[in-house]
Structure 1
Amino acid sequence: MIGILIKLNDRPDIIFENGTFYGGLHCGECLSIFEKNIGWVPVRLEFTDDWVLVDGNRAKTFPIPYGDHVKV
């Protein structure tokens, strides 16, 4: 399912096209995020000082790009 990554109640969540929510993401959950010029990139959610995504292809950590499309 494809949705938009949002922050809800201090936790990342996904809102889907039909208006339903994923229900809150947790550490270690895997999903794919759509990056322009690249396509779908597999990532894992983690918490350090704040919520971050870990890019499985490049072993890179980056802040969560709220508002981007994700696929679970």
Structure 2
Amino acid sequence: MTGILIKLNDRPDIIFENGTFYGGLHCGECLSVFKENVGWVPVRLEFTDDWVLVDGGRAKIFPVPYGDRVML
């Protein structure tokens, strides 16, 4: 399923195309984020000082890109 990554009640969540919510993402959950010129990038959600995504394939950590398309 695909949707948009949002922040809801201090936690990342997904609003799907049909208008339903995932219900809040938790540490360790895996998903894919769509990046222009790259495509779907598999990541894992973690919390440090704030919510971050970990791209294990590239050993990169970046802030949660709220508003981006995601896929479970």
TM-score interval (norm. to shorter): over 0.9
Query: 1:41, 1:57 within 8 Å by CA — same for their partners in 2?
Result: no
Determine helix, strand or coil for the equivalent of 1:18: coil
The Cα RMSD (Å) is: 0.4
In 1, the alpha carbon distance for the partners of 2:56 and 2:16 equals: 24
Equivalence for 1:41: 41
TM-score, length basis structure 1:
0.98
How do residues 1-72 of structure 1 correspond to structure 2 at under 5 angstroms?
A: 1-72=1-72
Percent identity (aligned): 85
Structure 2 residues not aligned, in runs of 5+: none
Q: Which runs of 4+ in 1 moved over 2 A?
A: none
How far has the Cα of 1:29 moved from its partner?
0.1
Question: CA offsets, 1:16-42, max 9 Å, x none?
Answer: 011000000000000000011000000
- The one-letter code sitting in structure 2 at the alignment partner of 1:6 is I
TM-score, length basis structure 2:
0.98
How many corresponding residue pairs?
72
In 2, the alpha carbon distance for the partners of 1:7 and 1:52 equals: 12
Structure 1 residues not aligned, in runs of 5+: none
